[in-house]
Amino acid sequence: MTDRSNFFDTKIEFLKGVGPKRAEIINKELNIFTYGDLIQNYPFRHEDRSTFQRVADLNENMAAAQLKGRIRSVNIVGEGPKKRCAVEFTDGTAICEFVFFNGAEWYAKSLREGGEYIVYGKPQPFGGKFSFNHPDVETLTPENAEGGYWQPVYNLTEKLRKRFIDSRFLGKAMRTVLEQAYPHFRETLPAELTQKYRLLSKADAMWHIHLPESEASLHQAKRRLKFEELFYNQLRLLKNKLIHKTEYPGQVFSKLDLVRTFYKPENLPFDLTNAQKRVIGEIYDDLKGGKQMNRLLQGDVGSGKTIVAFIAMLMAIDGGAQTCLMAPTEILADQHYRGLKPFADALGVTITVLTGSTSKKARKTLFPALADGSTQIVVGTHALLEDNVQFKNLGLCIIDEQHRFGVAQRAKMWNKNTIFHPHILVMTATPIPRTLAMTLYGDLDLSIIDELPAGRKPIKTVHRYDKNRLAVFGFMDEEIKKGRQIYMVYPLIEESEKVDMKNLVDGYESISRAFPQHHVSILHGRMLGYEKDDEMQRFVRGETQIMVATTVIEVGVNVPNASVMVIESAERFGLSQLHQLRGRVGRGAEQSYCILMSKYELSKDTRLRLDTMVRTNNGFEIADVDLQLRGPGDLAGTQQSGIADLVIADLAKDGAILKVARTEAEAILEEDFELALPKNAPIRSHVDSLRKEETNWSRIS
């Protein structure tokens, strides 16, 4: 047992107090098989068992209370489903009651009248005294009589509870394994870092995260483990980024002839913002640098990312290469194509579109034109990933709405050119909080377009309840009379698709009745491609004044004349989705509006979401609130990006630690990329031990 790796690989059935039968259910329910797994199963909170309260001092505002006293009586009350075990308890200052509904008979047999116990639970007033439902009860002993400890609380399942495997059992098992494990923990951070930030040792942190002596020791354990987790997360991403920059050559695109031609007023009828110019400069520096570009371009809805992408394409075409733009939906791909074609035609650049709807006949001419290089730009969907889509020389691949595409799909585009991997520009209109961008896309260079084109007025957003519907209809009518158009968006959630489709159709019919003098169109994902395209084009041409749709219009649809966005059942949408939908209006010079319709009864979080939308148009501010509310695991695309690897760090709260961890990882790699210096031996050793596994680099076993 002296070998460290063997120790942490020991099966939990060999741990005193566990045994084969309990081990089997813990394996199944918690996915814990070894000592290492058990130790890394961190508690999600701790209960303060350090002090005792008096029964006479109980109040309903207490989150929990710990009492020490004796049982006066134990009785079975009621029959059938209402059967319960009722216990009277006193500490000499007053009397309270405990009630056990599950396992009533067992508690009645186990708890002794006159016996002394410690009880922990949430007090609630009932019948003139305080009552506890299913409190934690243990026999009073000389060891626990003084309190003075913090009880770890672990995630459990009903099956575990039925086998009496609870947090107290896991806490005891944890104490046993940590006592044995303490000498086996190996330090994973250099002494320079632990001293600089006054971090606990690895062994002390692992002890105190489970069994803290105080709130302060728990805080220090979390601080150390969060720093370590984020440090290794950033070290891996930064190392990948540096390897990319040194090991992958890129085609050099330094000519700007087409860009200069395009920049003339007759070709580009509007001025670029300073933010767009800055980002174009950053992309140009990459493309002429001789190394393969890997850049993330973030820009809020309507900030002008597409024109920046087109200028980047022109740089590649000037260098004799082809380019592609991959979008997540056919509607968006077709819109990009239609938006860019006039610019391309004016410059004599050949452009085509490839989606799932592209006919066999069109493909017969399209594929050879890509293979011989005569087509310079192709805009498409996932169809671009097909093996028969071959390029003569793909120099730049632009991926729009990155979170809709997986890592494997990006890699497939990357391998469309095996001599020089194409430069990659990833774009997103979903604002990502800086902390999340660092962990999701920390291996990419980041460009941000943080200003809107001149003349754009901020969208006015209001929240209205269903009872205000007639007033909203009146406002819509006024806007239509001014010549404007309106979107009405309904939720379409998979779990309740039938109900949602009915609501959409009912909504369409009621809008048609409310506005008999106006043309109303309908758009949803179940329609065939040509039907969707038909409806969209009618709206674009102004033949219909109101479009009733699902979130199929969320990304990228551009109708400058549409000035009102009404979102039905807004309480059912996430913040970033609401923000995306709002961005469908405000594309022209006229004042635009977003109306959030909801029922009156709303949860606290939902109210915060809607209030945030009303208060601000700033996508990054909205993204920060979204991260606070939902956490990183729920934000789009994270499952495939390694973020789920984070076990203890919370990106919504630990941004400051993340920034420090990234700065330190950057400094270490800059000084010692191979981690060969003696002072970095703990890092090298730790990375080497984990390299065989695709795993979180901060793990211990």
pLDDT tier, 645 (very low <50, low <70, confident <90, very high otherwise): low
Confidence band for 557, pLDDT divided at 50, 70 and 90 = low
pLDDT of residue 53: 93
Which of the residue ranges 183-187, 191-195, 606-610, 696-700 would you say has the lowest mean pLDDT?
696-700
- Residue 642 has what pLDDT? 43
pLDDT-wise least confident of 54-58, 162-166, 203-207, 259-263: 162-166
- pLDDT for residue 406 is more than 70: no
Question: To 5 degrees, how large is the angle CA 520–CA 523–CA 529?
Answer: 130
pLDDT the model gives residue 404: 58
Could you give the count of Cα atoms lying within 13 Å of 317 in the half-sphere of its Cβ?
A: 24
Mean pLDDT of the chain: 87
Q: Is pLDDT at 438 greater than 50 in this prediction?
A: yes
If you average pLDDT over each of 14-18, 124-128, 139-143, which comes out highest? 14-18
Q: Which amino acid is at 56?
A: A
Give the dihedral sign, CA 644/630/442/312: positive
Query: Residue 459: exposed, middle, or buried by beta-carbon count in 10 A (0-12, 13-18, 19+)?
Result: buried
**Is 97:130 a contact under the CB 8 Å cutoff?**
yes
Write down the pLDDT at residue 655. Answer: 84
Span 182-202, average pLDDT: 95
pLDDT in tens, 582-613: 988 887 778 999 999 999 898 999 999 999 99
In the chain, the percentage of residues whose pLDDT exceeds 70 is 93
Average pLDDT over residues 483-487: 92
Scanning the structure block, which residue is given the tokens 């186990």?
Answer: 110
Q: From the CA atom positions of the chain, what is the Rg in Å?
A: 31
Give the count of beta carbons closer than 10 Å to the beta carbon of residue 95.
15
| Average pLDDT estimate for 375-380 | 96
Q: Look at residue 285 in the predicted model and tell me its pLDDT.
A: 95
Query: Quick one: pLDDT band at residue 145, thresholds 50, 70, 90?
Result: confident
The whole-number pLDDT of residue 230 equals 93
Encoded amino acid at 620, one letter: F
User: What's the pLDDT score for residue 555?
Assistant: 52
The answer, yes or no, to whether residue 697 has pLDDT greater than 50, is: no
Above 50 in pLDDT, residue 2? no
For 88-130, how does the pLDDT look when each residue is reduced to its tens digit (9 = 90+)? 999 999 999 999 988 888 899 889 999 999 999 999 998 889 9
pTM for the predicted model, two decimal places = 0.70
Average pLDDT over residues 430-448: 77
Element (H, E) at 58: none
Question: Which tops the pLDDT comparison, 35 or 146?
Answer: 35
Cβ neighbours of residue 323 under 8 Å, at least 6 residues apart? 312, 313, 316, 317, 376, 377, 378, 394, 395, 396, 397, 398
pLDDT of residue 403: 57
The Cα-based distances of 405 to 238, 361, 409 in angstroms read 22, 28, 6
Q: Which residue has the higher pLDDT, 693 or 181?
A: 181
Residue closest to 655 by CA, chosen among 433, 430, 431, 403 = 433
User: Whole-angstrom Cα distance, residue 440 to residue 566?
Assistant: 32
pLDDT at 298 over 70: yes
Average pLDDT over residues 267-289: 92
Query: Is the pLDDT reported for residue 369 higher than 90?
Result: yes
In the predicted structure, residue 188 carries a pLDDT above the cut 90: yes
Q: Which two tokens stand for residue 157?
A: 């399942």
* Lookup: tokens for 671: 């000084």
Confidence of residue 301 (pLDDT cuts 50, 70, 90): confident
Q: Average pLDDT in the 7-32 region?
A: 92
Whether 361 has a pLDDT exceeding 90, the answer reads yes
Q: What is the pLDDT of residue 640?
A: 38
Q: Span 658-668, mean pLDDT?
A: 94
DSSP readout, 92-133? SS-EEEEEE-TTHHHHHHHSPTT-EEEEEE-EEEETTEEEEE
Domains in the chain (CATH in brackets) are: 1-50+152-184 (no CATH), 62-147 (2.40.50.140), 257-287+304-428 (3.40.50.300), 460-616 (3.40.50.300)
Distance, first Cα to last Cα, the chain:
15
Helix, coil or strand: residue 669: helix
**What's the DSSP call for residue 673?**
T
Question: Residue 407 has what pLDDT?
Answer: 61
Q: In what order do the strands lie in the sheet with 520-523?
A: 460-465, 593-598, 562-567, 485-489, 546-549, 520-523
Question: Is 4 a residue whose pLDDT tops 60?
Answer: no
Fill in the amino acid letter for 518: H
Please count the other Cβ atoms lying within 10 Å of the Cβ belonging to residue 638. Answer: 19
Give the confidence band of 650 by pLDDT, cuts at 50, 70, 90: confident
With b for 16 or more beta-carbon neighbours within 10 A and e for fewer, the 399-430 pattern comes to bbbbbbbeeebbebbbebbeebbbbbbbbbbb
Task: Work out the average pLDDT over 347-359.
Answer: 93
Q: What's the average model confidence in pLDDT over 225-233? A: 94
Q: What is the pLDDT at residue 641?
A: 42
Confidence at residue 411, expressed as pLDDT on a 0 to 100 scale:
73
* Residue-level pLDDT at 67: 94
Tokens 């190394």 locate to 291
Residue 3 has a pLDDT of 47
Q: Are 451 and 650 in contact (CB under 8 A)?
A: no
